[in-house]
Amino acid sequence: MSDATADKAHVLVVDDDQRLRELLRTFLSRNGFRVTVAGDAPEARDRLTSMDFDMMVLDVMMPGENGLDLTAALRQQKKAIPILMLTAMGDAKDRIAGLERGADDYLPKPFEPRELLLRINSILRRATAQATPVPMAPVVAVVRLGELRFDTKRGELTRGEKRVKLTDAERALLSVFALNLGQDMSRETLARLVGGEVNVRTIDVQVTRLRRKIEDDPKFPRYLQTVRGTGYRLAGDA
């Protein structure tokens, strides 16, 4: 791993749009990165086989094998390269799909180059801070919350055979919690991963609403816990 920020960190940019590839190559090179580009998934695989990279900036919508499938395949092969996904699809369900496949972050198009740079540097700092690589936690298909079950693939919350109604914002937030089960999540991280109309100011409101649906006593939550000074954590039943 190279230094946490640019300092010649090697970035693989994968996008079928030649114009965008070259723009990203120029922009990142001017900001101190080594940059290699690829136009599709097969070319990206060749690059990954022949060179070492500190991270990958990957477009979702590509002909043939798309970015989601490539990410899933790399994670199945235990390749831990950090991945920032770029996509024109900005819905919460699309972001969740990328995170489910193993992406580290998600940036909707069009984006400000400065934001791209900040996100890349943030990913590199996190990767460098992990002195000892840790395997990715497996995605839990169903999270048990007492009598409730949350299906992470379908985004469905059920009590027995009866489905519990969730708003789109509640479903997106619960999905993010479920995909990061047991981990402390800051309000800023939650707002970024959920996206849409959910922001830092509304996270507390959405958490309160979710607690009314999953907790026996929302004032004393067992599952959707407050982490003092940080944010929240979802703790499911074993």
Of 85-89, 111-115, 194-198, give the range with the top mean pLDDT.
Answer: 111-115
Residue 196: its pLDDT value, please? 63
Confidence of residue 34 (pLDDT cuts 50, 70, 90): very high
Confidence of residue 79 (pLDDT cuts 50, 70, 90): confident
Residue 205: its pLDDT value, please? 92
Residue 136: its pLDDT value, please? 47
Going by C-alpha positions, the residue among 4, 3, 43 that lies closest to residue 13 is: 43
Global confidence as pTM: 0.55
User: Is the pLDDT reported for residue 179 higher than 90?
Assistant: no
Task: State the distance between the two ends of the chain, measured CA to CA, in whole angstroms.
Answer: 36
Each residue of 118-155: pLDDT tens digit?
Answer: 889 888 887 776 534 444 445 567 899 999 999 988 88
Amino acid at 223: Y
Confidence of residue 39 (pLDDT cuts 50, 70, 90): very high
Burial class (CB in 10 A: 0-12, 13-18, 19+), 37: buried
Going by C-alpha positions, the residue among 153, 150, 152, 161 that lies closest to residue 213 is: 150
User: Is the pLDDT reported for residue 90 higher than 80?
Assistant: no
Average of per-residue pLDDT across 195-201: 71
Q: Residue 145 is inside which H or E element, if any?
A: strand 142-145
Average of per-residue pLDDT across 72-98: 80
Q: Which two tokens stand for residue 23?
A: 């723009």
Confidence of residue 3 (pLDDT cuts 50, 70, 90): very low
Which domains are seen in the chain, by residue range?
A: 10-129 (3.40.50.2300), 142-234 (1.10.10.10)
Amino acid at 37: V
Mean pLDDT over the full length of the chain: 85
Residue 23: its pLDDT value, please? 92
Confidence of residue 230 (pLDDT cuts 50, 70, 90): confident
Q: Which two tokens stand for residue 81?
A: 């390269």
Each residue of 51-76: pLDDT tens digit?
Answer: 999 999 999 889 889 998 999 899 88
38/15 Cα distance (integer angstroms): 7
